[in-house]
Amino acid sequence: MADAYSRVTGKTGVVLVTSGPGATNTVTPIATAYMDSIPMVILSGQVASHLIGEDAFQETDMVGRPGPVVVDIPKDVTNPVDKFAYEYPEKVKMRSYQPPHRGHSGQIRKAIDELINAKRPVIYTGGGVVQGNASALLTELAHLLNYPVTNTLMGLGAFPGDDEQFLGMLGMHGTYEANMSMHNADVILAIGARFDDRVTNNPAKFCTNAKVIHIDIDPATISKTIMAHIPIVGAVEPVLQEMLVQLKQMNVSKPNPEEISAWWSQINEWRKVHGLRYAPGENGVMKPQQVVEVLDKVTNGEAIITSDVGQHQMFGAMYYKYKRPRQWINSGGLGTMGVGLPYAMAAKLAFPDQQVVCITGEASIQMCIQELSTCKQYGLNVKILCLNNRALGMVKQWQDMNYEGRHSSSYVESLPDFPKLMEAYGHVGIQIDHADELESKLKEAMAINDKCVFINVMVDRTEHVYPMLIAGQSMQDMWLSKGERTE
C-alpha cells in the first residue's frame, strides 16, 4: 500500500513494521518499488540496541539500498521516557545520491537537430515521465512536432490514451503499430525509459536503423542495453522544458510536413492490420478484452485502475484508455503477484472520491484476499473485477505456445465462490456469466459506493494475449493471433 500510495499521489509512501518477520515481509515490496523507482520509506522495528548482533528474538539484519529507504529503529530508542532534541535539516545531502537536475544544453540542442530532421520519428516514454511529473510537457512536445508517441507498461497515462498521436503500448505485448513504428523509425526519442527486455526483445536486432536520443536521470541506465547516440542525463521535467524553449526559439523550419505526413500514412496502414482486434465470443462467452473495453465505457475512462500480474494485467493495459498519469497502477519491473488489491486500497485511501477498480485474476486475488477485512474496517470501497478463466492464464499461454499445450500446474480448478466470500466479509458480490448481462451488471457494480464490490466475470479460458513478440527476434516479428504471425 505504501508503494501504491507513492505511485498514485507522487508523494513518498511510508510504512511502519515490527522487527523480524515484520521487516522481512517488506522485502518483496522493497524490491517492487526499487525496480520501478518508486520513492518509499520503511520504518522497521528492531531489538534493543544492546541486543543487536546477538541473534535475539525476532532480530533480522535489514540493509537498505538506493531507491526505497529502510530506517531500522531499535526498540529502546522508542521508549517514551527518553527525550531527544530534533531539528529538521534545512537541506538533505547524501554523498551516495546526487542525481543531476538539468540536462546539458549542448546535448539538448543536438537532440533537437536530429528530431527536426527526422523522417520517421517515434517518441518512446516510460515510467520516468510519470514519476517526473512531465506528462504535460511531453504532450506539448508531441503536439508541437506532430510525432507519434508510444508508452511502456509503466508509462501508460503519460500521454493521453485517446489522443490520435498515441500508438498504444509497445514491446512484448505492444500494439502492432507501436512495434512496427519503432522497428522502422530513423530517430527514437526515449524519455524516462530503460530499454528493458520486454521492450527490446533481442537487443542485437532492436531498431537497427534508428538514432537513439535517451533522456534519463540515471546515467547508469543510458547505453546500458541499447547504445544512445545522444545521451542526455537529467530529470525529465527540466530537460523537456529546455527542449521546448529551444524548439520555440530556433530559427529553423519545423519538421518536413510532407515526410511526416507520409510517416503518418504508413502508421495508419499498420493500425489497420491489427488494431487490437480479437475474435468475438460465441453463445454469450465473454472475451477478457471485451470486459475491459466495457469497463472503460461504463467508467468513461476516468477510473484509477490497478492490476495484478498476468494476462489480465496485459488486457487491462491494452484495452483501457488511460487519459492521465498515475491512473494505471501496477508492478512493472518485478511483476509482483498479489499487489492489485492493496494497490487499489492505497489509491482509494489517497483519493476516496475516485472510482478505483482492481483488474485481477482468480489466482492473484487470493494472495492478499484477507485484506477485504481491512477494506471493511477502513471503508476502502474499491471494485474488484476478476477476469476468471480458471487458470494461471499467462503460464498456460506459454505452455500452449512453447510446450505443445502440455499444461502443468496452470489450471486453478479449486476456487471459492467469490460472490459468497465477499458477502462473508460484509461486501457485495456480483456474478457475470453471459455477455448479455456484462454492461448492465458492470454499471450496477460501479453505482455501489458504500461497500466493496467483487465482480466475478467468467471469461473464455482459451484466450491468449496478442500481439506477442517472437522471442529472440526484432520488434517487427510478432504473433498476431493463434497461428498468425508477421511475415
Residues 6 or more apart from 332 whose CB is under 8 A from it? 35, 36, 127, 152, 153, 154
188-208: average pLDDT: 94
- In the structure, what pLDDT confidence band is assigned to residue 49 with cuts at 50, 70 and 90? confident
Distance CA 323, CA 326 (A): 10
Q: Which grid coordinates are listed for 305?
A: 485502475
* Single-letter code of the amino acid located at 206: F
Q: Using the predicted structure, report yes or no on whether residue 211 has a pLDDT greater than 50.
A: yes
Q: What percent of the chain has pLDDT over 90?
A: 79
- In the structure, what pLDDT confidence band is assigned to residue 61 with cuts at 50, 70 and 90? low
pLDDT of res. 66: 40
Instruction: Calculate the alpha carbon distances from 454 to 216, 225, 365, 379, 441 in Å.
Output: 40, 42, 10, 15, 11
Q: Coil, strand, or helix at residue 340? A: helix
Task: Break the chain into its structural domains and give their ranges.
Answer: 1-78, 105-274, 288-465
Q: Using the predicted structure, report yes or no on whether residue 43 has a pLDDT greater than 60.
A: yes
- In the structure, what pLDDT confidence band is assigned to residue 96 with cuts at 50, 70 and 90? low
- In the structure, what pLDDT confidence band is assigned to residue 382 with cuts at 50, 70 and 90? very high
Distance CA 386, CA 309 (A): 12
pLDDT of res. 65: 36
CATH fold for the domain made of 1-78: Rossmann fold (3.40.50)
pLDDT of res. 250: 77
Q: Quick one: which of 6, 75, 71, 237 has its CA closest to 140?
A: 237
372-387: average pLDDT: 97
CATH fold for the domain made of 288-465: Rossmann fold (3.40.50)
Distance CA 343, CA 331 (A): 9
Which residue has 466479509 as its cell numbers? 425
The domains spanning 1-78 and 105-274 adopt the same CATH topology: yes
| Mean model confidence pLDDT for the chain | 92
300-323: average pLDDT: 97
pLDDT digits (tens, 9 = 90+) for 444-460: 999 999 999 999 999 99
Q: Using the predicted structure, report yes or no on whether residue 289 has a pLDDT greater than 50.
A: yes
Buried b (16+ CB within 10 A) or exposed e, 369-393: bebbeebeeeebbbbbbbbbbbbbb
Q: Using the predicted structure, report yes or no on whether residue 291 has a pLDDT greater than 90.
A: yes
121-140: average pLDDT: 96
pLDDT digits (tens, 9 = 90+) for 144-163: 999 999 999 999 999 999 99
- In the structure, what pLDDT confidence band is assigned to residue 184 with cuts at 50, 70 and 90? very high
pLDDT digits (tens, 9 = 90+) for 68-91: 788 888 888 888 888 888 888 888
Q: Coil, strand, or helix at residue 168? A: strand
pLDDT of res. 68: 75
pLDDT digits (tens, 9 = 90+) for 14-34: 999 988 888 889 989 998 998
Give the count of beta carbons closer than 10 Å to the beta carbon of residue 363: 23
pLDDT of res. 23: 87
The top-scoring range by mean pLDDT among 215-224, 248-257, 313-322, 411-420 is 313-322
Helices (DSSP H) in 385-470: which residue ranges? 393-402, 418-424, 438-446
pLDDT of res. 59: 63
Distance CA 32, CA 25 (A): 12
* Single-letter code of the amino acid located at 6: S
Distance CA 345, CA 381 (A): 8
Report pTM.
0.90
Residues 6 or more apart from 115 whose CB is under 8 A from it? 121, 145, 147, 187, 189, 213, 255
3-22: average pLDDT: 91
pLDDT of res. 400: 94
Q: Which grid coordinates are listed for 219?
A: 546515467
Beta pairing partners, 214? 190, 231
Rounded to 5 degrees, what are φ and ψ at 46? -145, 155
Contact (Cβ atoms closer than 8 angstroms) between residue 329 and residue 343: yes
Distance CA 55, CA 33 (A): 28
Which CATH number is associated with domain 105-274?
3.40.50.1220
Q: Using the predicted structure, report yes or no on whether residue 294 has a pLDDT greater than 50.
A: yes
Q: Which grid coordinates are listed for 37?
A: 523507482
Q: What percent of the chain has pLDDT over 70?
A: 96
Distance CA 214, CA 188 (A): 8
pLDDT of res. 75: 84
